[in-house]
């Protein structure tokens, strides 16, 4: 089991949109590092859903229900999409500010590499964020 974090602007597609949809396609990634992370996702992996630009917080948990397949929105190039299903929102959303203030979370790419939109999360980091979010899985 691996853990991940994906970013989305809630104005475009927020966690509540994924909840409403049930299963959503995670497509449109056009960054090689992010794409390679998408391809490393395995069915059943848990994914933190982060709201970028607006909100700036981890809003919910979802899981991988379909592993990487060709991104239908890519007109050219070798890009991938996965399908995610909402599991549950965090009882208490965890803000970027709180993550930056937590010494246990300083190594996260979320803190270190601002622009990466799909990134791995260590199990201990995942558990820490759930704890901060007062949520059990």
- Angle formed at CA 9 by CA 122 and CA 102, multiple of 5 degrees: 35
Is residue 135 part of the contact set for DNA (CB under 7 A)?
A: no
Bridge partners (DSSP) of residue 89 are: 60
Q: Which of 21, 30, 92, 123 binds DNA (CB under 7 A)?
A: 30
Query: Using the rule CB under 7 A, is 101 a contact of DNA?
Result: no
Q: Which is nearer to DNA, 95 or 137 (CB)?
A: 95
Judged by CB under 7 A, which stretch of 17-25, 81-89, 114-122, 129-137 contacts DNA?
114-122
**Is the torsion defined by CA of 118, 119, 123, 125 positive or negative?**
negative
In this structure, are residues 43 and 67 in contact, taking their beta carbons and an 8 Å threshold? yes
Name which of residues 61 to 100 contact DNA (CB under 7 A).
Answer: 96-97, 100
Q: Which tokens sit at 106?
A: 């300083």
- Over the window 46 to 65, marking each residue x when it contacts DNA by CB under 7 A and - when it does not, the resulting string is ------xx--x---------
Name the strand (E) or helix (H) holding 129: helix 123-132
Q: How many CA atoms lie within 13 A of 94 on its CB side?
A: 27
33 versus 65: smaller Cβ distance to DNA? 33
Nearest CB to DNA, comparing residues 105 and 110: 110
Pair 116, 34: CB distance under 8 Å:
yes
Query: Of residues 3, 7, 64, 132, which one binds DNA by CB under 7 A?
Result: 7
Q: Which residues bind DNA (CB under 7 A)?
A: 7, 9, 30-33, 52-53, 56, 96-97, 100, 110, 113-117
């Amino acid at each position: 089991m691996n853990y991940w974090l994906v970013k989305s602007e809630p104005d475009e597609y927020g966690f509540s949109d994924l909840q409403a949809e049930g299963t959503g396609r995670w497509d449109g990634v056009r960054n090689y590092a992010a794409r390679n992370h998408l391809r490393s996702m395995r069915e059943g992996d848990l994914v933190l859903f982060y709201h970028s630009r607006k909100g700036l917080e981890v809003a919910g948990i979802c899981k991988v229900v379909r592993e990487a397949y060709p991104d239908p929105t890519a007109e050219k190039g070798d890009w991938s999409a996965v399908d995610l299903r909402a599991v549950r929102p965090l009882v208490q959303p965890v803000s970027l500010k709180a993550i930056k203030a937590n010494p246990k979370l300083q190594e996260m790419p979320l803190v270190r590499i601002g622009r990466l939109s799909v990134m791995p999360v260590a199990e201990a980091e995942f558990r820490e964020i759930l704890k901060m979010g007062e949520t059990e899985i």
